[in-house]
């Protein structure tokens, strides 16, 4: 059985990779946010004395924003899943190797 020390070390590595994938996804999302180009448009309100028109945020290029948002989400999900499988495979391979070494002696 895998020791608690090994399990905790692998958990720390996994969390570090989660943070890394989150940062990469955030960068891709931010690029989409910048390319999508949010702007403020004035919306005409009913003519009420003393109340100016209200600025409303709009997306200048919604398709680019949506594409980059989806890509960032996919990158994060695939990165997290691949990291999990990789760490689990390493743990299993190390444990099998250890057991084979101890059983053959």
CB 13, CB 87: distance < 8 Å: yes
Q: What is the pTM of this model?
A: 0.77
Q: What is the pLDDT of residues 12-22, one digit of tens each?
A: 999 999 999 99
d(CA 84, CA 77): 11
Give yes or no for residue 39 having a pLDDT over 80: no
Least confident among 1-5, 27-31, 33-37, 51-55: 51-55
Identify the pLDDT of residue 76. Answer: 97
Sign, CA dihedral 33-39-44-48, equals: positive
Q: Enumerate the domain spans of the chain.
A: 4-104
Identify the pLDDT of residue 104. Answer: 76
Helix/strand/coil for 56:
strand
Nearby residues of 25 by Cβ (< 8 Å), 6 or more positions away: 72, 73, 75, 76, 79
């Amino acid at each position: 059985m895998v020791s608690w020390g090994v399990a905790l070390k692998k958990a720390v590595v996994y969390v570090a990779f989660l943070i890394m994938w989150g940062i990469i996804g955030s960068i891709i999302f931010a690029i989409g946010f910048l390319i999508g180009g949010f702007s403020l448009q004035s919306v005409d309100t009913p003519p009420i004395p003393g109340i100016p028109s209200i600025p409303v945020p709009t997306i200048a290029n919604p398709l680019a924003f949506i594409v980059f948002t989806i890509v960032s989400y996919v990158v994060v999900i695939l990165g997290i899943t691949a990291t999990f499988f990789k760490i689990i495979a390493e743990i299993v391979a190390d444990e099998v190797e250890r057991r084979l070494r101890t059983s053959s002696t």
